[in-house]
Structure 1
Amino acid sequence: MTGVARLLGEVAHIGVDARGGYARPGYGDADRELREWFVGHAQARGLDVHRDRNGIVWAWWRPPGSSGPAVVTGSHLDSVPGGGAYDGPLGVASAIGAIDVMRARGLALQRPIAIAVFPEEEGSRFGLACLGSRLLAGGVQAERALALTDREGDTLAEVLRRDGLDPRHVGRDDETLAGVGCFVELHVEQGRGLVDLGRPVAIGSSILGHGRWRITIDGQGNHAGTTRMSDRRDPMVAAARTVVEIRDLARGIPDARATVGRIEPVPGGTNVIASRVSFWVDARHPDDLVTAALVTSIRDAVTRVAAEEGCAAALQEESLSPTVDFDHGLRDRLRSALPDAPELGTGAGHDAGVLASRIPTAMLFVRNPTGISHSPEELVEDSDADHGAVALADALEAVAGSAADGSI
């Protein structure tokens, strides 16, 4: 037993959402409590812990005689609203468990091992997914990131100050990346690939290109009871029609996905015709050109529908991540360590995908028997969690090298 289930049980009460599942937005109270939990376990194991200028928490294990760029693992601790218990925390708990496994084996590793915990991976607070890893890798300009606002109107700069970070030092960090040789992230599978294959663990092959766009439709606010239907310029009607068109557009393209999961009317009164409606589209496809074409079609549709309803519309990109094929050399090392593990692609974004532009990255997926994610129904069996932590230990050893095999 690797103790992963026990570790996750220790945080099962943190950030419980009354609507179901968990709500653990980045830099919030739940996120802070989870960070403290991780730091406590890392320090109890004698790891060297620090938080960098981008808010990433690092825990370093430097076995005697190890040197050179580190082999890094880890994940995130924040969640989407109503999220499951495993998306993120499984990777962090498994990283702790993997270090325990490697220490118990007593091998003399040639390279240091580190665990990284990335903030605001889901983007549920500031709308930009993988915010911590993007800042680290230079995937977003610091000025743009610091100006992002949450639903309360607080900027990232203000939130970082309250969380003990100096916004003046946020941004691309080449010095930290120079100390990272590669990154291997373990994550709960967010689909049914392993269920269908009857396997507990898979090696990641790729991540679908994806992005988020904000659509704003402006109409005319008015009284719900006194305004005749023929006199309305209702942006909610335009938004509703557009959501259906977005679904139909994505259905017409093989392997495309398009989702509207968040909508905000202004002012949001029950007896008020909205003056403005904002909603967010998540679009994905393995071919980045197809994703771009889909978004163009969505822009055309929302412009047309808004005009038909007497409204005006605008579409703004908030984030865009191209399709990622994980490093082939690193995948070869993982395949040698895990010869029975299949390879699977994923439609979900991850910090490993962002970091792939700067360093070799790879992923391991652990079976989710429900095939459901971003939901309280997300699940990992205890035995599979153990399989995952052992597989991660095997993978990290294969990459870090040991005195026994002389690899590096």
Structure 2
Amino acid sequence: MGNCLNSSSAQVDTTLSSHASGTSKNVSKSSYSGPSSLTISSYSEMSSASSLQTPRSEGEILLSPSVKPFSFIELKNATRNFRPDSVLGEGGFGCVFKGWIDEFTLTASKPGSGMIIAVKKLKPEGYQGHKEWLTEVKYLGQLRHPNLVKLVGYCSEGDSRLLVYEFMPKGSLENHLFRRGPQPLPWATRLKVAIGAARGLAFLHDAEEQVIYRDFKASNILLDAEFNAKLSDFGLAKAGPTGDKTHVSTQVMGTQGYAAPEYIATGRLTAKSDVYSFGVVLLELLSGRRALDKQKTGIEQDLVEWAKPYLGDKRKLFRIMDTKLEGQYPQKAAYTAATLASQCLNLEPKTRPRMSQVLSSLEELQASKGASKDHHKVMSSPVGKSPMRQVPHHRQSPRNLTPLASPLPHHRQSLQVR
């Protein structure tokens, strides 16, 4: 596809070391999508869709009344013929294009008028295939919640597979935490993002028919103009266990650095696997460091292993806090958040809190006096003495750089058992 950015979707195999049993799994680089910002109904209205109607066939999935079946020509017109200057991002799945449609008729409109959308176009040789495409339509076509990205529609015409999302103007959390930007995220915004993401996960877990997200990570958390977080990319989502079952047995899929160790080791998936992943993202919000960073050395490559010794010590917590915060965060609230992250990262799944409990704790933290103030200096050692080393921007891989305000596809490092 000549109108895409430089493709880096070639398959890459690496070895994933399990935190749990020392076993290793084959990790193949796959693709990931991320979407986009329509006006969404109130929280109470949207979150009432807690019962997921499970379609029995592909035809029933595609007949969902809440998503529009677009023709290929409609999306071609909406994106100005998929022009290169409309590209928002690119991944193994394909390209994501910016487009415009009329907000009432949902027909293509002139650039700059109507409603902005993000159109994700599957390329035939991509690693995210029809199955994941259909899974996204299945879940996002039925689930409605303020903290889930909205799927506007899809296109299934011949070999063409496209998804149409609301546009998220602030892009992904990953971009704000790890890319060069005008301003680092202040403490209050980080807490707001964590709460929004937790609401999304709690909604999925507490639905009448439970949904396990399975790929919770910073790049899948998209932000609207007010930094409200929405979960995107449901290609790996799975229905939770039913009846007297305690887990769902699946092929191990997810992203290296975020996947729960017991899931990597056994393939047994539960909602507590998502809780572990949330703990990793919470650590990323606190530290400003990636879950897995091969540019660092030794134990510092793995955020969880590096940070764990500091999470329970108020006097040493400053060592893992993001230096870009310049000490502007409430020490007590940061320690509470670190303790919560530690609980989510417990190696024993049963002892991890439920997402509803995590959400409640974060909301209490936000409501506590002074917890969200950004100008509260840490009383411990000076931040300048933190051992955390920032990776210079010029060392970041160019292929991973994506526009700030885009709902972007990324490369999903799939943990595949072969």
TM-score scaled by length of structure 2: 0.29
Higher strand content, 1 or 2: 1
